[in-house]
Each structure stands twice: as C-alpha cells, then as structure tokens.
Amino acid sequence: MNIIALATVRSQVAQPDIFGEYSWIFNLLFYIIFVVFIFYGQRIQMYVMLREVEGSLYKLKYIKDKGRRIAIETIKEIGKPQTDPAARVDRFLEYFTIAPQSLDPAGVVWKLEHILDVRDTRFKDEVKLMAPSADETQTNNLENTLEAAMALNYIYKVVRHYYLLGKRTLSLYIIMQLQMILPLVMREAEAYASALKAFAYGQPIGDGVGALVAAKLMYGHEKRKIPKDCVVATVPIEGRTAYVVKAEGPGGNVGKPGDAIKTVIEENEGKIANIIMIDAALKLEGEEVGEVAEGVGAAIGGPGVDQFKIEESILKYRIPINAVIIKEDIGDAVSPMRKEIFDAVDKAIERIKQVILERTKEGDKIIITGVGNTIGIGQ
Amino acid sequence: MSKTSSSASTKISSFVLVIIFVTLAFSFAALALAVYAYPEHPDFAMYLIVIGFFAASMAAYMLLQMRRRLLRLRIELPPITTTIECRKCGFKSVREFQRGDYIFKEVEPCQKCNEKMLITAIYREVKEKPKESFPF
C-alpha cells in the first residue's frame, strides 16, 4: 500500500500540471498523425523518394550542362570555328544509333560492324565540321569529349523520364525502382563527368592501361600502321618474336584490334604460337584497384565485333589465347589514370613474360595486344 | 538547352529561403517569449519552448540540407602529375599536367646532360579514405 501511495505522490511530483490543461491537443495530434499515416503512409514514402530522386536529378542536370559547356569551350579553343558551335553540339548530343535487327542472327556481327563504322565516320565528320583547325589527335580527343557529354545527356534524360513518369502516374513501383538504381547511375555519371576533362585535355584514362602495357613493350622499336587505326612493332622478348599491337595514339582511339590481330595472323600464315591480350577489367567490390589477374580468352570489351573477329581468326588456325587483366572500377576506367593502375603496368609486363616462358618455346612467334583507349599514350 | 540552365540547377529558391528565415525568427521569438512567460505561466512557457526548439531545429535542418545539396554538386578533380625522365642520365622531374602532354612524348632537353627528355608517366593520386575494417 505504501508503494502505491509513493508512486501516486511521485507521479504528482514528477508531472506537474504542465500537460494537463493542453494534453488534449497532443492526444488529438497523435490520433491525426496515426490516421494520416494509415491512409497516406505510402504516399508520404513516395514523396520522400521523389524528393531524393529530384536531388540526384539536379546533380545530373548540373553535370550534363557542365559536359556541354566543356565540349563547347574545348571546340572553340582547339578547333577555332568561325561560327558558334553550340547549336551543332546540341544536335550532336541528341545523336542516336539504331542497332541492327537480330531476328535472324546469322551475319548480325557484320551488320553491327557496318553500323558502327558509319557512326564513327559520321562522328568524325561532324567533329571536323565543328573544329576545322583541329589535327587528327585533337579530333579524336574532341570526339571522345563529345561522346562523354552525349552519355551524360542520355543518362539525365532517362532518369528524368522515369522521374516524371513516376510523378505523373504516382506509381510507387516506378519511383522505387528508380530510387534503388540511382546510386549506381550517379556513380556512372560522376565517372563520365571526370572523363570529360580527361578527354578534353588528352589525359590517359584507366581504360588505356592495356594500351600503355603495349606502348611500354614497343617503345624504341620500329612501328608500322595496320588496319584499322592500330600500330604493330616487332619486339624480341625472351628469345621469342612478339608482334606488339595497340591502337594508334596519343589521340583518343581504340582502333580495331580484331582486324589488327587478323592481319598479323594472316601475314604470318597462321604460324603464331600464342596470343596474349591485355585489357582493363571491371573489379568487384572488395578487390584492389590495379590487381593483375590472368586467364584465357579474348580480353576485349565493346559491342563484341572485335571479340568475334579475334575468336574467328584464332579458331581458323587453332591458336591458343591468353589474357592478362588489370582490375579497376567503372569510375577509374573513364577518369584520368590512377597511380595504382599506372604502377600495375610493370606487374602486367612481368606476368606477360611469365606466360611467354611457360606457354611458348624459344623462336616462337607471338602476338601481344594492348586493348583500350589510347588517349594520352604515345608509342 | 539554354546557357542559363546550369545556373538554374544550382540556384536556391528565394521563396524557400524566406520561409526558412521567417520560421527561424518565429522560433527565436517563441523561445524569448518562453523566458518571459516562465515565472507566471510555466506550463505555457513549456509549450513555447517545445515549439520554438522544434521550429528552430527544422529550419536548421533545411538550411543544412541546402548546403549539402550545393556541396554534392561540386565535382572535385584531383591534380594530374606528369613525370619527365632523361633516359640517358636518369634525371627525373615531376610537374603538373599541361595540355598536349602524353606518355612517350619527347619534351625539353635535360638540365644535366642536354639529352631530350621523355614523359614516362601521367597519373592522378587519389587519397583514399581509411577503409572500414571487415573480415572478408
């Protein structure tokens, strides 16, 4: 009984009549909030998500506009056009490519190659019209800059499309999907944003690490051009004759390693003991940037045309193919080359030499191909 | 795509700013009033304090959110370093990247042996944040 009395007294002491007179306001407020959340909880959640997407959309718009501005400024600076290139750049940013029909997949690779060739020629012509004073290297760099600006423009438009669609239809599922995928989209957009400056200034990017390995191997040896937009040098390595292939630099260029490898194989009538391809590869979270790994197969990205051609050529003469990859994430691949990636070049060369010693005999002929965008990398 | 579109994306709505500052002013007024009202109407003063703090914290949160949005819009580009080496005497110099630099480009003669120097490296150094320790 004493305890009950004490509790009563304590409650009276601890809670003076502060909330007594107006406590009904709090009660009413609580019930209103409760009812509102029962009926409008999902809608409130949706508005919170929309706000989050809106914030990212602001950033995407800022990045996209910055990309356009950098592209126009670079064209004006390098190309010295007589008219304002802004309108032409805006038209270029809306450019699209229609992939070939693949209902009947036979021969689709050649159709795709043709479409990509047409696109490439059209892009180069457009850039030359925009920047008449630019040399070949600068034209390639400008083309890459415009492509990065184009990618940013496209990302912004797609995100805006789903944002507006979600807002208009008030569909939680559209907004939710967009909000869930947004961190990855933003990462890619930020990577392209840092790529813009790299392309505009002609700085080497992470994707060019394969080309850098090949450049280091061929430096000081005689080079010759081979189709398309590639160079090859004959380099003696560990008693073997290595044909080192890379895209022709230092302009932003990936060349056509498929055609280049085919040419070298045909020149040697298929007498190639081994092919080693070096390329940058996307790392998984938790892996270190610049980690070197080894495997088999054609290490080459892109739309698949070059990989197809390489596989066709090696199948014809039954040539073994090895791959050395240097790991990096998407942001590192398109932004200026990180020191860790640059340092991985020597490790990759050591690994190549190891493969040569283990997989070929003295006097053999081999092909070493460095794949990737050779921007900022000479030979 | 207009030229002003980039500034539009970074612009803060003046209407929202006015509302934030008005809320902030009211919240401070409520807190000041609470101090005066406390001796005679302590319960009323308590409500004013609760409302004042709530409004002030909301306004501060909104201002911080705006600042964060502006900071998020900045894209920081780390400096790019160019390493130049003399193949003959091994003299090495490091400078900031200049437009036109590329790896294996021959540049100015060496200060020591007058041989043409070569750009041997162009890269950026990223200062990584200390990694979270995880057992995997």
Q: Which residues of A touch B6 (CB under 8 A)?
A: 61-62, 65-66, 69
Q: How far apart are CA A193 and CA A64, in angstroms?
A: 8
Predicted pLDDT at B90:
84
**Over the stretch A82-106, which tens digit does the pLDDT of each residue have?**
888 899 999 999 999 999 998 999 9
- The ranges assigned to domains in chain A are 45-201, 206-370
- For A109-158, give the DSSP string: HHHHHHHHHHHHHHHHHHHHHH-TT--HHHHHHHHHHHHHHHHHHHHHHH
Average pLDDT score, chain A: 89
Q: B13 CB near a chain A CB, below 8 Å?
A: no
- pLDDT at A15 > cutoff 60: no
Residue A265: Cβ within 10 Å count: 22
- Tell me if A202 and B99 make a contact (CB, 8 A cut-off): yes
- The closest alpha carbon to A277, from A263, A291, A258, A290, belongs to A258
Predicted pLDDT at B1:
37
Which residue, among B16, B67, B102, would best test binding to A if mutated, counting the most A CBs under 10 Å from its CB?
B102
Q: Which residues of A touch B131 (CB under 8 A)?
A: none
Reported confidence tier of residue B6, pLDDT bands at 50, 70, 90:
very low
Nearest-CA residue of chain A relative to B66? Answer: A55
Predicted pLDDT at A178:
92
Q: Which residues of B touch A379 (CB under 8 A)?
A: 104
Predicted pLDDT at A233:
94
**Over the stretch B81-100, which tens digit does the pLDDT of each residue have?**
999 998 888 888 899 998 88
- Tell me if A193 and B75 make a contact (CB, 8 A cut-off): yes
SS3 content of chain B, % helix, strand, coil (to 5): 45, 20, 35
Q: B123 CB near a chain A CB, below 8 Å?
A: yes
**Over the stretch A35-59, which tens digit does the pLDDT of each residue have?**
999 999 888 888 889 988 988 898 8
- Tell me if B80 and A203 make a contact (CB, 8 A cut-off): yes
Predicted pLDDT at B11:
60
- For A190-256, give the DSSP string: HHHHHHHHHHHHT--BGGGHHHHHHHHHHTTS-EEEETTTEEEEEEEETTEEEEEEEE--SSS----
Nearest-CA residue of chain B relative to A205? Answer: B123
Residue A304: Cβ within 10 Å count: 16
- pLDDT at A263 > cutoff 50: yes
Give the closest of A93, A335, A342 to B121, CB-based.
A342
Predicted TM-score (pTM) of this structure: 0.81
Q: Which amino acid makes up residue B88?
A: K
- pLDDT at A19 > cutoff 60: no
Q: B116 CB near a chain A CB, below 8 Å?
A: no
Q: CATH fold of A206-370, please? A: Rossmann fold (3.40.50)
Positive/negative CA dihedral, B90, A215, A74, B70 = negative
Stronger pLDDT, A65 or A228, i.e. the higher one: A65
Percent of chain B scoring above 90 in pLDDT: 23
Q: How far apart are CA A84 and CA A75, in angstroms?
A: 10
Q: Which residues of B touch A59 (CB under 8 A)?
A: 9, 72-73
Nearest-CA residue of chain B relative to A72? Answer: B3
SS3 assignment, position B89? coil
Size of interface A-B (CB pairs under 8 A): 100
- pLDDT at A1 > cutoff 50: no
What are the φ/ψ torsions at residue A241 (nearest 5 degrees)?
A: -100, 115
Nearest-CA residue of chain A relative to B136? Answer: A286
Reported confidence tier of residue B45, pLDDT bands at 50, 70, 90:
confident
Reported confidence tier of residue B2, pLDDT bands at 50, 70, 90:
very low
